[in-house]
Chains A and B, each alone.
Chain A
Amino acid sequence: MSSKTNARKLSEQMASSLEAVEGRSLWQDAWARFRKNRAAMTSVCVLLVIVVCILIGPSLSPFGHDDIDWNVVSDPYELGKPSLTSGHYFGTDDLGQDLYARTMKGGRLSIMVGFMGALVAVVIGTVWGSISGYVGGVVDSVMMRIIEVLDSIPFMFMVILFVTLFGNNIYLIFIVIGMVSWLGIARVVRGVTFSIKKREFVEAARSIGVSRLTIVRRHVLPNVLGIVMVYSSLMVPGFILFESFLSFLGLGVQPPDTSWGILIAEGAKTIDVALWLLLFPSAFLVATLFCFNFIGDGLRDALDPKDR
């Protein structure tokens, strides 16, 4: 009698201990690894702070991004120095516009543009790569040849050519950039798809009659997701940089809109008299780029299958 209850207790204990060692998914594993990466976690926090600043920052300033403060216009390099009392936390530019408001406003555009470009590139690259890798054969080689041809086009120059011809609508520019920078992602996704296609679980799915589209959607894409995330997290800073680069040259955003690139370009012209005009926007840009790079590195270490 008692041995029976004992046995039941024992089995219950075993069952509960079994529950305790519930298997961890790939994502839980990756998250645990990512959390241990101090640089990446700090970057996430700093980036969050920057994003919050950009979102609610403008309402904390008494000045709008294109308001002119007539009190400082007479001598902007003296009266427009950064100070807490005048309300110009970061100072003003030579027109008397508040740099704090402008940096926040510019940041919105810079970061949004980075994400938009990456989104377009990721969508096109993933679709192209997974089709090419999964279908294989002639389709694959044609699709890869097309990538090879596109790869030898100097995109910076093509984009500038495009801007020359169709004006500087910044979102248009970024869709164009996104559309021309999906090549790397497509290559990577194709490679991964190619190797997944030959795995047993895909074969099993095929043997029970799952359609091709469903296999790609249910089995291939989730496995590709990790590497795509790593890749795109490294692409966002690239796009932010490129937008700043275009704006620095005067080919990107047009006034009264602004972005970090424009602010840096303006600051670079007055380094000898008003260093703050260069320092504040540069600091924000560089900090953001730092964060994205560390996060990207952290994601790679967390998700890279090589490590396992």
Chain B
Amino acid sequence: MLKGRIVRIVLAARLQESSVLQYPIASNLLLSGVLVAFLCLTGCEEDVAGPSGVDAPFSMYGILNPELRTQTVLVAPVEDLLVPESGGALDAVVTSTDLGSGTTYAWRDSVVANATGQLDHIYWADFTPEYGSRHRVEAARSDGLQSSVEVNIPEPVRIDENDPGSRILTVNVSAPSDFSLIRVDAIYGVRFYDKFEPGTPCSTPVKHYAFPYKGAEIKTNDGWRIKLNLFIHYETMRSYYHDDVLADIDDLRFRNPSTDGLALMSLKLDLTVGNPEWNLPEGVSIPNALGHPNILSNVENGYGFVGGGYDEDAPIYPSYRAIRDTPFFDFMQRAGGDYCLGTIEDSEG
């Protein structure tokens, strides 16, 4: 307030002394400037540029699976709006050809809502591609523009377990031709056991916990090698099991690692085998980065990726010596030695 007064006083003093710039001149200049600015600028409305657009008609996504009787591919128009105005029929004819046999399949449209409520066009065809075969899938628009993709179906893989008698098991996955491992999970089936209450294990449920090994596989001449460490996930499973099972049972608790713990009931390797093109680059996370149009892109004149692959699983039977090298072994040896091998399950999926 005070300084405001001072400035006003100063301004007043300057008014009296002013001889260079008279007020009417300043006022006119100001008025002229405002007028010019007003006239120049009011008519200049700029709009914002929308999507730049491309000629590609479709994006296609799907996996041709030799273990399924029905194949599916999502076909999405490449368009200017995130939310299309209508969800009507798609101007697309989708066909596929087995490039080995020459057999052609016509695909049919189905409209399905996705998680956000918008409608997707998922095309499907009833056929089962052969292992090792090659197919071409095409989506054509009525104006002649089309997107297409050629897909190799991988050969069946062979899974061999190499048990050196320690906590680290080696599993070799091999096939006659090149392939990718898209997903590698080790699924453990475990159950609680208390040394001083030998009947307890049979009354507690078997829980299955999956641990990803994707990224840890090693390329070999005929496939991939995976090293399973039976030790490293024990504490995690113990914690999960407590939360999932024991927390709801009054009398059962993990108390002393030397007298109670987890029994290993089953172990399974769960894989997704893909063709070599279905190969994620290192350092790309799923799904955030995977969605970028330049990642996993094999569609000609379009966007997206259509691959070939199938899911495969194999039970793993660790040896008695291997289990003895883990916390599972510690517990089971005191429980009588043959407990694990006598009750281990093949698989519960």
Is this pair of chains taken from one and the same complex? Answer: no
Interface residues of A (CB under 8 A from B): none
